[in-house]
Each structure stands twice: as structure tokens, then as C-alpha cells.
Copies of this chain bind each other. A is one copy, B any other.
């Protein structure tokens, strides 16, 4: 596929679109989709996502990027090209619950996700079978209070060895250390089983039951040092009633969780998310 995406963040100022679209046009690119957003037209921050087609892109992309650089510097941008013929490499971390993992694997296998899944890492041996049956290596790395730094070192080495672009925590029930997170800043996607910021932390379904809420939810977000406080990517909800006990909430919650996580992963794979402060722009 001769298709690519360009993500841009800079201070808002007149002429940004004109300059960017001119350089793309001069290199023969056809803009297929373009979205932009500005926090404030006077003095705010400007965000843009451009998807374009460029015949013979593999040969031409070097020159395009080189010619783009002066504009990027002039407008003091942060920018990033990504190419659809370079599939993103996604690692999945999982514990014992299988619903998010199975859904991700199904979407991968059915062709919904354009990505590679070079490995799955788990702190439990339970889910080896569905992973290995797809030919994906499954690494069982137990984690406990004492070996955590060592376990994370192993995990990071595997991510490096497999050249991983981003990590998905598919109900991985361990808190990652700040040091780990630093290596994959805004590249670790978690699914939290509540409607954040409600029920931050442990046992959200139990607490939802106790509070007597009439709607439950799930939230996918990028992991930061502050537990469940990272930039929110996507949320989903479902109505419940007094008839739902904690087990019912968990059962209904599982289908929310897998859907919300899958949508977040899809958005990330399509380069539709820009993180700004502690929030996301989702194009």
C-alpha cells in the first residue's frame, strides 16, 4: 500500500495547512483524509492528521521527509510520518482473564487489525494455548513483590529483542514501574474496568455494586506514572440495574472491556491519536 500518515503538533498560526499541503502536493502525494483541531485559533495549539497516497512511496519517502524538515523547523512542529507498509509491532501483556486477549487475537486474525503481534507476555501460564496455536510465542514471566525489577528487565529485553512499537495491557493485573513506563511513553495502552475517573484503582465492579450505579463502563488509556490517571483514549458504558450482582457486573463488563480496548488499539494502529498534556486528540 502506498499510503502514509503524518501527525503534527505546533503552535497555531496562519498558513500551516497551506505550507504542509504544498510540500505534499509537490512530491506527488494525494491527500486522502485530513483532520485538524486547534485549542484556540489565537495562540492555541494546532493538531493535524493527514493521510495521503504517494505512488512508489518506498522509493520517494526519503526525499519527502527531507524536504518536509525545513517546514517542520520553521513552524516549530513535532511531527511524525508513518507508513502503512511498515506494520506496527504490538506486544500483549495478559494475566489470567482471557476475554480481551481472545478478542485482540480474533481481530488480528480476521484482518481487522493491520499489525504484527510478535509475542505475548504473561505473569501466569494459563493462556499459553490460544496464543501459541496462532504461532505467536508466549512468554511466562512470573511477577511478585520480590522479583519485580528483575521481571521487568526480562520483559524490556524481550520487547527490545522483538522490536516492539507498543504494548497493550489486556487485563494485565500488575502495576508497571515508572522506569518501565518511561521506555514506552504514550505507547502502553491499558483497559481499566470502570468508567474513569469513577472507581480508580482496585475492585471497581465491587465498588460500583456498592455505590448502586445504574450504568457501568470501561476506559482505555495510555499508562502514565499515576495509576489510572493517564490520557483517556476511549470509553464505553452499559446500563445495569439492581438485579445485577457483582458477578453479573463482571460478566457484562467483560464485553464492554474487550470492545473499548479493541477500539483504542484500532485508533492507535491507524495513528489517529495525539497526546496533548494529559488528554488525547482522537481524529
Contacts and interface: CB of A to CB of B under 8 A. Distances in A.
A280 B22 contact: no
Contacts of A21: 17-18, 21-22
Interface residues of A, number: 61
Nearest to A200: B198
Nearest to A255: B259
B22 A18 contact: yes
Interface in A258-283: 259, 262, 278-282
A197 interface: yes
Instruction: State the oligomeric state as a number of copies.
Output: 4
A241 to B, nearest CB: 6
A110 B99 contact: yes
Interface in A218-254: 231-237, 241-243, 251
Given A25-B18, A41-B53, A211 B232 contact: yes
Contacts of A196: 198, 211, 213
Nearest to A213: B232
A2 B174 CA distance: 39
Contact of A197 (B24, B41, B99, B211): B211
Given A197-B199, A214-B232, A28 B53 contact: no
Interface of A: 12-18, 21-22, 24-25, 28-38, 41, 53, 98-99, 102, 106, 110, 112, 133, 195-199, 211-215, 217, 231-237, 241-243, 251, 255, 259, 262, 278-282
16 contacts: A12-B30, A14-B30, A15-B25, A17-B17, A18-B21, A18-B24, A22-B22, A32-B38, A33-B38, A34-B36, A99-B110, A196-B198, A197-B199, A198-B198, A237-B237, A255-B259
